[in-house]
């Protein structure tokens, strides 16, 4: 069976929002935004808000992590998929579930209690670092980059 065309997977705790979604989608040439998130999968209001922020002419799907694992291999070759997750833990669940993620873009991980700022828009705690380490060990290329127009930061920052 052909691999699904996953162009990029991005961690962004706001998921689909404004300019960022538009910039990444057009840079990648994606025609499908797949939000893999257990909470949003069951929340029509959040889906509607994200649909308003999604770029025109691009399909959106809101699946739980498990459903993403279950259906990703049924994707059609014409679907050029940009997956967005909320956390490294969710990305790791996808990878362990057999979703062929080669590259993980670390976009926005907000500062909150118990986290430390390691890059411009990235704050992590020990659990995040452990998930990133495991993703790296599984062969996933990590990239810290908020928007396509600015240079990527050193992914080693995630482990400091």
- CATH number of the domain that 63 lies in? 3.40.35.10
**Count of domains forming the chain:** 1
Per-residue pLDDT for 139 more than 70? yes
Catalytic residue among 14, 17, 133, 136: 17
In tens, the pLDDT along 82-93 reads: 999 999 999 999
DSSP assigned state of 13: T
**Domain range for 153:** 5-159
pLDDT, position 34: 98
- Predicted TM-score (pTM) of the model is 0.96
Stated length of the chain? 160
- 3-state DSSP assignment of residue 137: helix
Q: How many CB atoms lie within 10 A of CB 18?
A: 11
Structural tokens at position 79: 């679907």
Q: Catalytic residue at 73? A: no
Query: Helices marked H in 2-56 — which ranges?
Result: 18-28, 38-41, 44-53
């Amino acid at each position: 069976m052909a691999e699904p065309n996953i162009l990029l997977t991005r961690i962004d705790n706001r998921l689909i929002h404004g300019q960022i979604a538009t910039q990444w989608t057009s840079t990648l040439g994606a025609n499908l935004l797949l939000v893999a998130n257990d909470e949003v999968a069951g929340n029509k209001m959040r889906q509607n808000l994200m649909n308003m922020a999604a770029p025109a002419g691009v399909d959106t799907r809101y699946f739980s992590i498990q459903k993403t694992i279950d259906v990703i291999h049924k994707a059609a070759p014409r679907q050029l998929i940009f997956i967005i997750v909320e956390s490294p833990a969710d990305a790791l669940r996808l990878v362990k579930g057999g979703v062929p993620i080669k590259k993980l873009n670390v976009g926005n991980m907000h500062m909150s209690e118990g986290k430390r700022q390691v890059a411009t828009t990235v704050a992590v705690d020990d659990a995040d670092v452990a998930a990133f380490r495991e993703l790296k060990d599984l062969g996933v290329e990590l990239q810290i980059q908020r928007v396509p127009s600015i240079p990527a930061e050193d992914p080693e920052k995630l482990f400091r």
